[in-house]
Amino acid sequence: MATLDTLMTKRVAPADLQRFCAEAMVRCGLSREDAAVTAEVLTTTDTWGTHSHGTRQIRPLMRAVKAGGIRPGAQSAIRREGPGWAVVDANCAMPMVVACRAMEIAIAKAKSAGVGYAGVAHSSHFGAAGYYATLALRHDMIGLSMTNCDPCVAVTGGRTPVIGTNPISFAVPAGQERPVFLDVATSIVAVTKVMIAKAMGRSVPAGWLCDPEGRPTTDPSGYPDRSVLQPMAGYKGYGLAVLVEVLAGILTGASFLSGIKAWVGENAPPADQGHAFIAIDIGAMMPLDAFKARMDAMIREIKQAPKAVSAERIYLPGEMEWERRDTALRNGMQLPDYVLVNLQGLAEDVGMLAELETIFR
């Protein structure tokens, strides 16, 4: 078996990684179609450099399948709908598949009503919020995507976990410039980044965690029992996390706050997370060319702003991700140790170690 150090020096083509991941998930009981969609979502997330929420998530997801919290044979269904909205029951089906379907429903609603909302109840961990928002770009629409999740973040003035990391993403098409694309947790960082630091024995930057008395700490070793994650930008991130809770949890009929179960862990029950997807049909409101020209003008004005002494460049949200993806598609990707550990574990679980090694060159 190749060592981690060896694999870290090699590169993998996104298409090869996607094929490997899809096959591994089929061996865990997913249909070919669901495995293909899930592999596409997670590999694309890796190409953006968001490795915390890319293919390293497959092993824990397959454990959730084994524990019964995610049911690979289940189908999602629309429970209620109107001209511009729908509420979908995920039925604990594969969350990436449910999320893609719900975003497509929001897009279809926006095609006829101008704006479409699709809420999802009874779902689980859908990975990075970003992939689903970018589906709207294919239709020249603005896309928004968000999910609630089990509480691990303190609220302003509190010292215990009350609310989830509740990520939110938006994607907006432009003309000659790249689409603007933000994908962030409403906590100061995603939990996965704390868990990675903990697993690697590294400290975390000041401001990420507080101890049980509410005092700042940079030591992740006690997380989650003896420290709690902080909201992004204090009460501002806390406020946005509440918005996500309303649109993804309360409005859909999914669980919210302490009602949501952790999706990872031995025998984890169904998480009952909620998601929300919104599509805005630009062409219904203004000529598309005019919108794209205005987006280009906004992007250029931002990029021409005087730079801080320490800055080499001003980035638009998403610009780093598009550039990393271009490089990944051209030259392949070098994956960090915490992704490779998970991929090796997955390969071992499903008897595909030899296949994994052959895709790294």
Q: Which residue is nearest to ligand NAD (CB)?
A: 128
Measured from the CB atom, the residue of 52 and 227 that comes closer to ligand NAD is 52
List Cα–Cα distances, 339 to 147, 194, 196, 344, in angstroms. 23, 15, 10, 9
Pairing of strands 228-229, 77-82: unpaired
Which residues contact residue 120 at a Cβ distance below 8 angstroms, ignoring those fewer than 6 apart? 76, 87, 88, 89, 90, 98, 99, 102, 248, 252, 254, 274, 275, 276, 277
Sign of the dihedral defined by the CA atoms of residues 104, 274, 197, 38, in that order = negative
Which of 74/182 has CB closer to ligand NAD? 182
Phi, psi angle pair for 157, to nearest 5°: 95, -10
Angular region, 10: left φ>0, alpha ψ -120 to 50, beta rest? beta
How far does CA 28 lie from the centroid of its chain? Answer: 22
Q: Which residues bind ligand NAD (CB under 6 A)?
A: 50, 52-53, 125-130, 147, 149, 165, 167, 169, 181-185, 189-190, 193, 315, 317-318, 320-321
CA atoms within 13 A on the CB side of 105: 27
Least CB distance from residue 319 to ligand NAD, whole Å? 6
Residue number with CB closer to ligand NAD (56 or 193):
193
15/233 with CB nearer ligand NAD: 233
Peptide bond preceding 95 in cis form (omega within 30 of 0): no
Q: Decide whether 23 or 40 has the Cβ nearer to ligand NAD.
A: 40
Q: To the nearest whole angstrom, how small is the minimum distance from the Cβ of residue 316 to ligand NAD?
A: 6
- Nearer to ligand NAD by Cβ, of 225 and 312: the residue is 312
Minimum distance from residue 264 beta carbon to ligand NAD (Å): 10
Helix pair angle (319-331, 32-47), 10° resolution:
110
Shortest distance (Å) from residue 343 CB to ligand NAD: 18
CB of 354 to ligand NAD, least distance (A): 31
Closest CA to 252 of 87, 79, 85: 87
Task: Quote the least distance from Cβ 178 to ligand NAD, whole Å.
Answer: 11
- Distance in Å, CB of 17 to ligand NAD, minimum: 18
Residue type, 48: W
Q: Which is nearer to ligand NAD, 7 or 65 (CB)?
A: 65
